[in-house]
């Protein structure tokens, strides 16, 4: 059985990666999370987190959100689609439990992967 770790190559750390995900404009959401996604051309799923101060006011709440989502990602890696970069954003400032995120993240990730499909070709002007 593979170890459930959260390695550096499974993280989105570069601003260009985040920008690429947001520019693709493919997202799904439930009442607590918004998950954006884009194909990454790799054999792994990568995770990025975007938690703004306007949405979640207190720093310790923002840090807790990030810890909970990272742990849910780590525990649910086998259920996540390969070859997709995901960016998770909180929909509200409500505190999320690990159980809630652990249930929601795989289903949202699968839904955004289904929405990606083939990219349309750019039309020259």
Strand residues in 4-45 grouped as ranges (E): 27-29, 33-39
Instruction: Note the pLDDT tens digit of each residue in 81-98.
Output: 999 999 999 998 788 899
Q: Is residue 3 part of a domain?
A: no
| Tokens, residue 125 | 């002007």
111-52-9-75 Cα dihedral, nearest 10 degrees? -60
Tell me if 80 sits within 8 A of 72, measured CB to CB. Answer: no
* Cα–Cα dist 113/26, whole Å: 9
The pLDDT value recorded for residue 41 is: 87
Mean residue pLDDT across the chain: 88
* Cα–Cα dist 101/14, whole Å: 24
| Tokens, residue 119 | 């990219």
- pTM attached to this predicted model: 0.86
Instruction: Note the pLDDT tens digit of each residue in 95-118.
Output: 889 999 999 999 999 999 999 876
Q: Which domain, by its residues, includes 47?
A: 10-115
Number of domains in the chain: 1
Q: Is residue 80 part of a domain?
A: yes
Q: What is the CATH number of the domain that holds 75?
A: 3.30.230.10
Evaluated on CA atoms 115, 116, 118, 122, the torsion sign reads positive
Q: Is the pLDDT of residue 65 over 90?
A: yes
Q: Is residue 123 part of a domain?
A: no
């Amino acid at each position: 059985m593979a170890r459930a770790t959260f390695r550096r190559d499974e993280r989105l750390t570069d601003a260009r990666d985040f920008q690429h995900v947001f520019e693709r404009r493919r997202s799904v959401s439930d009442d607590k999370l918004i998950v954006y996604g884009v194909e990454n051309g790799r054999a792994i799923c990568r995770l990025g987190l975007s938690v703004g101060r306007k949405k979640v006011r207190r720093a310790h709440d923002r840090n807790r959100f990030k810890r909970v989502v990272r742990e849910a990602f780590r525990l649910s890696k086998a259920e996540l689609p390969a070859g997709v970069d995901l960016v998770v954003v909180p929909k509200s400032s409500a505190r999320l439990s690990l159980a809630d995120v652990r249930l929601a993240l795989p289903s949202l990730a699968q839904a955004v992967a289904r929405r990606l499909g083939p990219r349309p070709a750019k039309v020259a002007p």
